[in-house]
Structure 1
């Protein structure tokens, strides 16, 4: 016979037992969730969702499957587009759930399909007309397809899902700051013992867009792993602990390097003053626009930096041969031969030929874990401590330099 929610069963001679089948709990069961992100070599992606289900009671993990929940994601530009302008990487699609599990707090974690170059999941969009990465407006919609089994009590359906913040532990480890001149920067602070300082200068796409009043102090850490690499456990071990600072330009470093140089130097002085920085071990590195700017800093402030790592940097028309020849800071240049954005011969090789004692690593292309990136993205190799000469990798070389 069909079993109702309350059924009387025979339980021996003349006795009766009542079996109460659990009712589904749903009314008023609202749950918040976070978007869990990771900055991949090609930029930040949302790789999982964490549902705050702790207060629902112990969830039975055996009842969780990849079809228990469905996830839809929509990403749109935070800024209105100019006529004819496009924003790359907008999306409106379902995100496949690849795993469903409980974390150590009892929250449900939905792992999402993601990969380098995969459409959907990215947190940044590129405005073609302005040459800027901007943080996309993300709206995630979760649908529960089956009730959740609990170890104690009946099954439960969630009545409402509320989206919370974007969580990226590596990015969140950098605090927000603004210098006296108004330049924003992010800072990873090591412990209070005397530590070196690494200055990371971003590429052209990570600056502000002040005509739109867009100055987010975000994209420098979400667009690539340039600054993040030095703050990893591996980077910190090599440098013996290091502060890492990432200023954000109000436009392009290339637009007016001599104007930006003292503003960057102001940030360096401020960090040195507020933290116990080893002044003999201040390093500067940067990619593309930032590759130029790292050379500009060692050209203008010749007594500050112990080493410089310009990656796929612009040299032609912004630094004279005499200025390059006058650089005395130990310098290691990096680029890829297939860079079709900044000609490596006219820039990286040319700078290497002029800077006394400089080192250079030229790759044929930019490939990481089997995925080929644009040739301009050679900063990926520096962020992973890949360049090496005679068995010495670039981070170890930097860490050895003293002013």
Structure 2
């Protein structure tokens, strides 16, 4: 499991504590000059990845009394900046992050739970650059200060001398390994931990904001998994149970799929062939799904490679021209010729991609296709932009005639 190292390291002296110096309120505390490292613990929410807690490597300081930990024991400050030029747009932030709980994990390390949630500012690991149409992973610098000593179980007060930021840890993301095809297209691959015999392969094609920005030298092979739960949903225990263990591959475009679909199609197909050659994959159970730009590319793949996929799930995808008067990205004749079982998904309040000119139109032309149209995108009480209908597929919500989309896919064989 890979761990992506943070680009900068913060070293901070604990508040009011230096070796040999008596300070009111902390004079009785034992201090350690040793640097205590901490990791950034992250989770990919439906609206993007956020740092949800910090884990301090304090187990070696001796058994700590959890009763000595409060939400005010440590202060947390973060500064986030873009790794590439934004053209003047400020996509970062600098603020204090509220600690909502302080506890010990099973190893005896201190865990600081941080306030987080959909739409909250300050927890996100990504920033969106409007002029480039890209998400980038922000450089995060976390600063910790200790406001009060902690105590060991024997009652000894301890104040930490310095803190050192370590890596960003997201178990769901880290379960996908890094790869690159011979043509140079990067991709992440999830390998199943259960199942029998040859396994299915699910190809997830990301949206426009998750491609590379090659003019800036930015090709991270990460934002495909950190920006939303599209690929991660298929690697969850629920999905893996439905598919009886499936490989999940998430290629990353060098720009945006819609920039040149006919050129990208064989590059994606090469990755599929690589996985088929190196993993025990059933060639009759290869599925493709994608959102927005990736919804377009999911449709395109079934027109270019009609015999490859057992099923396709294009989400809020584009088939019409980019603007009025442009030729369609997927002509009507190609849509009508699709024979891959197809289930289209969109939300009617999508103001980024017109659902009627694209999803509804494609459904009317693709033979025997299914379609799910939502009024709004709402999950766990939070309303998202209408374009984000991939959230429903990542949660296996769409259903027709009592069958949900993951089960429908899993039953399809080529």
TM-score, normalised by the number of residues in structure 2 = 0.90
Q: Distance in 1 between matches of 2:57 and 2:139?
A: 22
Asked if 1:154 corresponds to 2:156, the answer is yes
1:355 to 366, 377, 386: 366
- Write out aligned runs for 1:232-381 (5 A): 232-316=236-320, 317-381=328-392
8 Å Cα contact 1:34-1:163 kept in structure 2: yes
What SS is found at the alignment partner of 1:28? strand
2:220 to 216, 219, 223: 216
Corresponding residue number in structure 2 for 1:53:
58
1:30 to 26, 35, 46: 35
1:227 to 205, 228, 231: 231
Instruction: Tell me the CA shift for residue 86 of structure 1.
Output: 1.6
- Write out aligned runs for 1:78-117 (5 A): 78-82=83-87, 85-88=88-91, 90-117=92-119
Q: Distance in 1 between matches of 2:80 and 2:236?
A: 29
Corresponding residue number in structure 2 for 1:12:
none
8 Å Cα contact 2:32-2:158 kept in structure 1: no
8 Å Cα contact 1:87-1:126 kept in structure 2: no
Q: Distance in 1 between matches of 2:394 and 2:90?
A: 26
Gaps of 5+ in 1: 1-21
Corresponding residue number in structure 2 for 1:73:
78
Q: Distance in 1 between matches of 2:330 and 2:116?
A: 41
Asked if 1:397 corresponds to 2:408, the answer is yes
Q: Distance in 2 between matches of 1:81 and 1:42?
A: 21
- Identify the range of structure 1 (123-132 vs 191-200) with the bigger mean alpha-carbon deviation: 191-200
Instruction: Tell me the CA shift for residue 81 of structure 1.
Output: 2.4
Corresponding residue number in structure 2 for 1:19:
none
- Rg comparison, structure with higher value: 1
TM-score, normalised by the number of residues in structure 1 = 0.93
Corresponding residue number in structure 1 for 2:190:
188
How many aligned positions are there? Answer: 379
Q: Distance in 1 between matches of 2:137 and 2:109?
A: 27
Instruction: Tell me the CA shift for residue 29 of structure 1.
Output: 3.0
Q: Distance in 1 between matches of 2:166 and 2:84?
A: 21
Instruction: Tell me the CA shift for residue 153 of structure 1.
Output: 6.2
Q: 1:186 to 1:266 in 2, by over 3 A?
A: same
Q: Distance in 2 between matches of 1:61 and 1:174?
A: 34
Q: Distance in 1 between matches of 2:186 and 2:169?
A: 21
Q: Distance in 2 between matches of 1:402 and 1:27?
A: 62
8 Å Cα contact 2:200-2:285 kept in structure 1: yes
Instruction: Tell me the CA shift for residue 193 of structure 1.
Output: 3.4
Q: Distance in 2 between matches of 1:157 and 1:339?
A: 52
Q: Distance in 2 between matches of 1:230 and 1:94?
A: 34
Instruction: Tell me the CA shift for residue 91 of structure 1.
Output: 1.1
Q: Deviations over 1:263-316 (max 9, x none)?
A: 000000000110000111000000000000001111011111000000000000
Instruction: Tell me the CA shift for residue 152 of structure 1.
Output: 3.2
Q: Deviating runs (4+, > 3 A) in structure 1?
A: none
Instruction: Tell me the CA shift for residue 30 of structure 1.
Output: 1.8
What SS is found at the alignment partner of 2:173? helix
